[in-house]
A = this chain, B = another copy of it.
Amino acid sequence: MAIDLSQPPEVQRLAECTRAFIRDRVIPLDDADDGDITAAGGDALRADLQREAREAGVFAPHAPVEYGGHGLGMSDRAPIFEEAGYSLFGPTALNIAAPDEGNVHMLAHIADPEQKEQFLAPLARGDVRSAFAMTEPAPGAGSDPSALTTRAVRAEGGWRINGHKWFITGADGAGFFIIMARTSGEPGDRGGATMFLAPADTPGVRVGRHIDTLDRSMLGGHCEVFFEDLLVPDSAVLGAVDRGFEYAQVRLGPARMTHVMRWLGAARRGHDVAVSRVAERRGFGSRLGDLGMIQQMIADNEIDIAATRALLTRACWELDRGEPAANATSIAKTYAAEAIFRIIDRSMQMCGGLGVSADLPLARLSREVRPFRIYDGPSEVHRWAIAKRAVSAAKRAQQGAE
């Protein structure tokens, strides 16, 4: 009854199928368009890939079985999502890209039966995409969510929402929005938020410009979104009024970890490309892969991959036990975001001039992974939270000792 790290056989099988599917069907498309999912076909590509994934039996590993998914928990998702992340288009193909994957997770936990039928079911099937509208331009909710300024006020038979959001991933083309709005208190208060569900074609929902960011692989972009006297009925409230920050945690802990899984796959691809190259190229009278400085980069990549996976394993186990795992997910996310960036960066360096060109996938991977040190909570905010817990625990221990 000791520690057991073995993957269940059915998970291993699904991981192998996913690996083959990604390698054979998805990577070629990703490479052809340098990871730009819009250039590669956008929602039409998405429909094709998801159909193929369904046929290959690898679609929706995370979604509840009653909605056509495999119903895997966090620990079991890890190897599958990592395989999917090996291609930048892989998560879209399996319907596990952000933000849909996190939204499926949250709706499965919080939505009522009618909401599940209306929003979760088509989302899990891939019939629609979705967006999670939380982040706001300064001085609103950014790294510090309590600064939330979007307001929902009581209106006849429901709520009237006004606010300005940005960096809303997937907004352009989303079928519906999950909207975080303040229903009580003032910006700066650590409570008073509520989540609302609204179909994208509701009057008062306006999607603005795409913010042009380093990454190109997320369908629907990172957009500005405006809610202008948006009226939603009471049935649009997700969960209970004023508990939005709590629910956000339900979403954010697992969502951080699934991000790590996917980006770890991307990092592994970068590493594989580089190692494969230095294993055959020669220079300075030696195989490149036998030169000490190259070996150091390879070993550091291997260490970073192993540590990311090990921290992820820990956090997923805690989440699967029903713990909030706030510390474990902050630690895993912070380490992973920085490690994944280093892995890709070293992989580029190993490949020289070609490494920074589109002839290899490394330059695009470097663009894609950089924002992860900021998205889902900048490293600095996670470190702040980790340190606060440590100092508080030390303080309590001192007071206990007195």
Is A39 part of the contact surface with B, judged by Cβ < 8 Å? no
Per the 8 Å Cβ criterion, residues 354-402 of A in contact with B are 355-359, 363, 366-367, 370-371, 373-375, 378-380, 382-384, 386-388, 390-391, 394-395, 397-398
Query: Residue on B with the closest CB to A389?
Result: B302
Does A275 contact B394, Cβ atoms closer than 8 Å?
Answer: yes
Does A293 contact B290, Cβ atoms closer than 8 Å?
Answer: no
Instruction: Give every chain B residue within 8 A of A359 (Cβ-Cβ).
Output: 211-212
A213 to B360, CA, bound (A): 10
Instruction: Give every chain B residue within 8 A of A34 (Cβ-Cβ).
Output: 212
Is A279 part of the contact surface with B, judged by Cβ < 8 Å? yes
Does A302 contact B386, Cβ atoms closer than 8 Å?
Answer: yes
Known pairs A212-B358, A292-B296, A293-B296; A390 contacts B275 (CB<8 A): yes
Does A382 contact B299, Cβ atoms closer than 8 Å?
Answer: yes
Instruction: Give every chain B residue within 8 A of A6 (Cβ-Cβ).
Output: 3
Is A175 part of the contact surface with B, judged by Cβ < 8 Å? no
Per the 8 Å Cβ criterion, residues 51-83 of A in contact with B are 73, 75-76
Known pairs A298-B386, A313-B3, A386-B302; A370 contacts B378 (CB<8 A): no
A287 to B294, CA, bound (A): 18
Per the 8 Å Cβ criterion, residues 293-312 of A in contact with B are 293-296, 298-300, 302-303, 306-307, 310-311
Does B353 contact A142, Cβ atoms closer than 8 Å?
Answer: yes
Does B76 contact A2, Cβ atoms closer than 8 Å?
Answer: yes
Does A356 contact B371, Cβ atoms closer than 8 Å?
Answer: yes
Does A303 contact B334, Cβ atoms closer than 8 Å?
Answer: yes
- Copies of this chain per assembly: 4
A292 to B272, CA, bound (A): 21
Query: Residue on B with the closest CB to A338?
Result: B303
Known pairs A2-B73, A5-B314, A356-B374; A298 contacts B214 (CB<8 A): no
Does A356 contact B370, Cβ atoms closer than 8 Å?
Answer: yes
Query: Residue on B with the closest CB to A5?
Result: B317
A168 to B238, CA, bound (A): 58
Does A313 contact B5, Cβ atoms closer than 8 Å?
Answer: yes
Is A174 part of the contact surface with B, judged by Cβ < 8 Å? no
A369 to B279, CA, bound (A): 27
Q: Provide the A1-36 mask, 1 if CB < 8 A to any CB of B, else 0.
A: 111111110010000000000000000000000100
Known pairs A213-B357, A213-B358; A384 contacts B279 (CB<8 A): no
Is A320 part of the contact surface with B, judged by Cβ < 8 Å? yes
Known pairs A73-B2, A283-B143, A283-B147; A378 contacts B352 (CB<8 A): yes
Known pairs A213-B363, A317-B4, A382-B299; A142 contacts B292 (CB<8 A): no
Does A356 contact B213, Cβ atoms closer than 8 Å?
Answer: yes
Query: Residue on B with the closest CB to A188?
Result: B285
A391 to B8, CA, bound (A): 29
Is A328 part of the contact surface with B, judged by Cβ < 8 Å? yes
Q: How far is the CB of A334 from chain B (nearest CB, A)?
A: 6
Cβ contact of A357, chosen from B212, B310, B320, cutoff 8 A:
B212
A375 to B76, CA, bound (A): 37
Max chain B C-beta neighbours (<10 A), residue from A363, A382, A398 = A363
Q: Provide the A178-212 mask, 1 if CB < 8 A to any CB of B, else 0.
A: 00000000001000000000000000000000011
- Could you list some 15 contacts between A and B, CB below 8 A? A2-B7, A3-B4, A211-B357, A275-B390, A275-B394, A291-B292, A292-B296, A293-B383, A295-B384, A302-B331, A306-B331, A310-B310, A310-B314, A356-B370, A356-B371
Binding site for B on A (CB under 8 A): 1-8, 11, 34, 73, 75-76, 135, 138-139, 142-144, 147, 166-167, 188, 211-215, 222, 272, 275-276, 278-285, 287, 289-296, 298-300, 302-303, 306-307, 310-311, 313-314, 316-317, 320, 327-328, 331, 334-335, 348-349, 352-353, 355-359, 363, 366-367, 370-371, 373-375, 378-380, 382-384, 386-388, 390-391, 394-395, 397-398
